[in-house]
Every structure is written in C-alpha cells, then in structure tokens.
Amino acid sequence: MDNVVEKINNIKNIDDFLTFVVELAMDAKKHPDEWENKTITDYLGQLASWVDDMSQFDKETDWDKLDYKSFAKILYMGKIYE
C-alpha cells in the first residue's frame, strides 16, 4: 500500500475506514510476501502486542478514550459474519 500513513491520517468517516480495510485486504492478497504476519493467529497476536507497546509510548493517542468495545465487536464479527 502506497502512502499508508497518509491514508490512515485521512480517515474521517466510516466510508474512509471501509475503503482502507478493503485496500488492506487486497494488499494482503496481492503482496503476501510483504506481510510479516501471514496467519490470522500471528496477525491478531502481533496486533495485541503492538497496542500494548504503543499504549505505553505513543503520547499522541489518548488510549483511555478509544472505543475498545467497538473494536472488539468489529474483530469478532470478522470471524462469524457471512
């Protein structure tokens, strides 16, 4: 994905978010060799590790105000939604 930081910084609404997720999925399919975490197990595990690490060091994000319940629902629905 080109300019991923710019794409993330430009997400302002649900349509922008959905576009980003679709592009991320297409990138995984087109460029699997560029992905460090190739299985869902590895991906989710490293996602959790990144959040844990960044929540201690990233001062730009208010980690206490993120909507973790919605994130959890989004992640879980990816498991069961048809």
φ and ψ at residue 67, rounded to 5 degrees = -90, 80
What is the token pair recorded at 46?
């490293």
- Its pTM stands at 0.85
Q: What is the pLDDT of residues 5-39, one digit of tens each?
A: 999 999 999 999 999 999 999 999 999 999 999 99
pLDDT the model gives residue 68: 97
Q: Can you read off the two tokens belonging to residue 44?
A: 């989710």
Buried b (16+ CB within 10 A) or exposed e, 22-51: eeeeeeeeeeeeeeeeeeeeeeeeeeeeee
